[in-house]
Structure 1
Amino acid sequence: MYAEERRRQIASLTAVEGRVNVTELSERFDVTAETIRRDLAVLDRDGVVHRVHGGAVASQSFQTAEFTLDARSRSASTAKSAIARAAVDYLPQPGGSIFLDAGTTINALADLISVQPNAHSWSIVSNSLPIALSLASNGLSEVQLLGGTVRAITQAVVGDTALRTMALMRADVAFIGTNALTLDHGLSTADSQEAAMKSAFVTHAQKVVVLCDSTKLGNDYLVSFASIADLDVVITDSGAPQSFIDQLRDREVEVIVVEDK
């Protein structure tokens, strides 16, 4: 396992469990205690965890920082591709309708949708400029890009115009991305306008499928846009702590765990 992948899993485990121990992590990842200490030092420097004697504890603050699409696409890229492949199984029957939220993992799914045998039969609605352009450039004709204000950092359409249009729509399946997922705060993101769009997708879909790599589990962003009760399926990667997976399943959420290799 590469150091970056190990640190990603340590960050997720710390966020979910609240506290991690150097000795236990050393045994879990089959590396020396000194290697784990270096990992925790890097994560502490990045503000992901707080180092304490013998281990680390999770950061408790609500996050507000957002990263560019380019930076997001480089983060956990292997896991995101595997998650997108698993999400294909939840596409509706021919002639069905789909909501595609803005996000890099959803973008990976959109690329896969374009090559599906039934691609031209689906009606697709999105608030993502890159996703709409990608689908249209691949020849899909039933693609609707919502109108409104474009957020530069995410290239997502937001605002009252888009929300009014969404109020008239329904879809068989909504594929949703998120900045964070916790049991108490649900799905959350940094921007209130983008949260409102995500919430509209969730509200007006018959089935909600969340594409969420394990780095986002146990974290909280400022604005919650859906509770655990709103979710039907969560697709994540093998870095997700088993305790968190079990708790989601206890709340009747279907959890799919993919191998991010």
Structure 2
Amino acid sequence: MTFQVRKQLILSSLEQNGSVEVKELAQKLNTSEITVRRDLTLLAEKGLLVRTHGGAVTLSLAKDPVHFSNKVATRQEQKEYIGRLAAEQINEGDTVFIDCGSTTFQLCPFIRHLKIRVITNSLPVVEELMGSLVGVNIMGGEIDADRQAVHGFMAIEHLKRYRVDKAFIGVDGLSLQYGLSANSEKEASITLAAAANAGHVYLLCDSSKLEKDKYFRFAPLSIVHTLITDQQAPADLVEQYTRRNLQVLN
């Protein structure tokens, strides 16, 4: 495979996912990791992407890697699929928690017609559900402008006062060995508080985050009852999660 062909495949993958990893590209392109690293370096020098440790990201994500709009734009099709599956788990009359993740946000279009209560720390979720049949309870605390979310001690204290039937949470990484991991302690603390007060915990996680270990490991797999992911999740990996008493919907 020539460099030009690899270049197009790399940029296409970046456009779809927002980020790429050397190991995954090496398998996809059927070439060595050394070749992939060299290709990414050349493309970075041409200003087509930004190199990261272990891979690369698009220029927009590099400029503002945590901004909510950037996160929503990546793997959009997979996230919508997950959102639809997740919405099917909600019944009329439920009280649910929805966190500030870009994947959990995709629940909103599919639940606007339901007479339910939603507790959330996500400003986009509040905006999306305003004017619908959903009753919205927004947590108090400090606002993170980039993530468009409420965090902090008061937000956690707010959440502790409510018992929810179902919590829909997201993570930055999930692995059999280390469980749930995040890029921020703030988001991890909200997730733990939500899980502690929920009858059933759903983890909404696209397949690109499976078997990834991020900056802050904060919880074992056992705090999650059901993993909702997309159809690209490897079948053997789904089976391994199932063996760990984790229900998987995809």
Shorter chain as normaliser: what TM range? 0.7 to 0.9
Distance 1:239 1:105 in 2: 15
Q: In structure 2, what is the equivalent of residue 158 of structure 1?
A: 151
Determine which of 206, 210, 222 is the counterpart of 1:213.
206
Distance 2:133 2:31 in 1: 53
Distance 1:254 1:187 in 2: 16
Distance 1:192 1:143 in 2: 25
Q: In structure 2, what is the equivalent of residue 103 of structure 1?
A: 101
Q: How many residues align?
A: 223
Report 1:128-207 matches (<5 A). 128-140=122-134, 142-207=135-200
Answer whether contact 1:13 1:241 (CA < 8 A) is retained.
no
Distance 1:78 1:133 in 2: 21
Higher relative contact order (CA 8 A, sep 6+): 1
- Kindly tell me: are residues 253 and 41 of structure 1, through their superposed partners in 2, closer, same or farther at Cα, counting changes over 3 Å? farther
Opposite residue 121 of structure 2, the aligned amino acid is N
Distance 2:207 2:235 in 1: 11
- Kindly tell me: are residues 46 and 219 of structure 1, through their superposed partners in 2, closer, same or farther at Cα, counting changes over 3 Å? farther
SS of the residue corresponding to residue 162 of structure 2 reads coil
CA shift for structure 1 position 66:
4.7
Percent sequence identity over matched residues? 26
1:124 aligns with 2:124: no
What is the CA deviation profile of residues 89-119 of structure 1, one whole-angstrom value per residue up to 9, with x for unaligned ones?
A: 211x32221011111111111121113xxx1
Distance 2:230 2:110 in 1: 18
Opposite residue 200 of structure 1, the aligned amino acid is A
- Kindly tell me: are residues 252 and 152 of structure 1, through their superposed partners in 2, closer, same or farther at Cα, counting changes over 3 Å? same
- Kindly tell me: are residues 108 and 39 of structure 1, through their superposed partners in 2, closer, same or farther at Cα, counting changes over 3 Å? farther
SS of the residue corresponding to residue 104 of structure 1 reads coil
Report 1:1-261 matches (<5 A). 3-4=12-13, 14=23, 25=28, 41-42=39-40, 46-47=51-52, 49=54, 66-91=65-90, 93-115=91-113, 119-120=114-115, 122-140=116-134, 142-257=135-250
Distance 1:204 1:66 in 2: 30
Any gaps of 5 or more consecutive residues in structure 2? 1-8, 45-49, 56-63
- Kindly tell me: are residues 7 and 111 of structure 1, through their superposed partners in 2, closer, same or farther at Cα, counting changes over 3 Å? closer
- Kindly tell me: are residues 47 and 107 of structure 1, through their superposed partners in 2, closer, same or farther at Cα, counting changes over 3 Å? same
SS of the residue corresponding to residue 224 of structure 1 reads strand
Any gaps of 5 or more consecutive residues in structure 1? 15-19, 27-31, 51-64
CA-atom RMSD in angstroms? 3.1
SS of the residue corresponding to residue 103 of structure 2 reads helix
Distance 1:123 1:7 in 2: 33
When normalised by structure 1's length, the TM-score is 0.74
Answer whether contact 1:68 1:154 (CA < 8 A) is retained.
yes
Answer whether contact 1:12 1:218 (CA < 8 A) is retained.
no
